[in-house]
Amino acid sequence: MIKSKRSYFLWICLCCLLVLASCGSRKSTSNTKAARAADAMANLKSKSLYRFITDWTGVKYKLGGLDKSGIDCSGFAFLLQQNIYGKKLPRRSRDQAEAIRKKSLGNLKEGDLIFFSFGGKEVDHVGIYLNGDFFVHASTSRGVVVDDLSLPVYQQAIVKTGTLH
């Protein structure tokens, strides 16, 4: 009888453990960076922009590159503006920054350009604003990605924002 009570007690404990383990709390993914980036993509007004970005996402960075074997930030902005908006943009990010009409960061619209300086005062990087503090660019370390503009590394490096004339 004692052995039977012990077995019954162990069986109850095991069942409780299984129930508790299966009810473990899960981290909500609705507020992760990836989920917010996915929301920014889903909320794009231009479906052709959405397709362009998804088609290029993950293409590796290559200085001077202008195709799927590798692309740099200004080449990506150049192709995006040409293919999605039919606008001609200079090839180098420094020259691109001179070709825009300046806008404040808070007034950016989908497709506007954001220029950064990571190495001083000169423009050395460009990205394209999407919405909700997200932008797309060709990162030197991760290739073409959608990134969070509110990150301090980007906030500290923004030097100019605007729209193509």
Determine the angle formed by the axes of helices 73-85 and 47-56, rounding to 10 degrees: 150
128 exposed, middle or buried (CB, 10 Å; 0-12, 13-18, 19+)? buried
d(Cα 46, Cα 112) in Å, to the nearest integer? 13
Tokens at 44, concatenated: 């794009």
* Residue 165 bears catalytic tag: no
Tell how far CA 94 is from the center of its chain. Answer: 22
Cα-Cα-Cα-Cα dihedral sign, residues 41, 45, 51, 56: negative
Phi, psi for 35 (deg, rounded to 5): -65, -40
Beta-strand runs (E) in 108-164 = 113-116, 125-131, 134-139, 143-148, 158-164
Q: 5 by DSSP, 3-state: which?
A: helix
Q: 149 by DSSP, 3-state: which?
A: coil
13, 15, 73, 165: which is the annotated catalytic residue?
73
13, 15, 16, 137: which is the annotated catalytic residue?
137
Q: Which residues are catalytic?
A: 73, 125, 137
